């Protein structure tokens, strides 16, 4: 895969793309235990600006709370980390992907309180128009889906969680 970025922020440190790895026994890989956000960064006269950055990070924390993920950083630290990643990548406009996930904390659907821990990563990379430049000129085809959103009493649909996107 072509690297999307030079570095990724992982657990408080900028890490080279090729060294940013997750163990195959990561809980998130087996059970989908991750929460994430997707944040656009726009070029402005005052420099790069994350669209509702604080609101997105707050929602990341809300999602983590819903799934009982311990967060090793506070909201302000992750907002600053997002800014640091964009700056380190030298981007004026970008897509930010903060993600918290359960790493090596044992197997089983519900890890024990003694072993549970969250890892946090943030990547920033250039990404043009979401549906491609052509969509801006010609538009896109759309339809109303017959699929219903999962009911909130089946899985926590209010959380932006990896497992909810299967």
Contact (Cβ atoms closer than 8 angstroms) between residue 86 and residue 97: no
Q: Which of 43, 48, 59, 120 is nearest to 84 (CA)?
A: 48
Quick one: which of 99, 133, 139, 96 has its CA closest to 118?
Answer: 99
Known active-site residue 160: yes
**Neighbouring C-beta atoms of residue 71, cutoff 10 Å:** 16
> Catalytic residue among 6, 19, 138, 160, which?
160
- Report yes or no: 98 and 37 within 8 Å, Cβ to Cβ: yes
Rg (C-alpha) for the chain, rounded Å, is 17
Which residue in 26, 98, 91, 33 sits closest to 60, CA to CA? 98
Active site residues: 160
């Amino acid at each position: 895969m072509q690297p999307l970025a030079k570095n990724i922020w992982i657990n408080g440190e900028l890490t080279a793309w090729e060294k940013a790895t997750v163990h195959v026994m990561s809980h998130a890989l087996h059970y989908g235990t991750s929460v994430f956000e997707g944040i656009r960064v726009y070029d402005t006269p005052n420099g790069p600006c994350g669209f509702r950055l604080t609101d997105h990070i707050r929602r990341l924390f809300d999602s983590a709370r819903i799934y009982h993920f311990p967060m090793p950083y506070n909201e302000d630290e992750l907002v600053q980390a997002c800014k640091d990643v964009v700056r380190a990548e030298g981007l004026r406009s970008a897509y930010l992907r903060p993600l918290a996930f359960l790493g090596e904390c044992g197997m089983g659907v519900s890890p024990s309180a003694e072993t549970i821990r969250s890892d946090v990563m943030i990547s920033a990379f250039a990404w043009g128009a979401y549906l491609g430049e052509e969509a801006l000129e010609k538009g896109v085809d759309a339809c109303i889906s017959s699929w219903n959103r999962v009911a909130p009493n089946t899985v926590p649909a209010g959380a932006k969680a990896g497992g909810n996107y299967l």
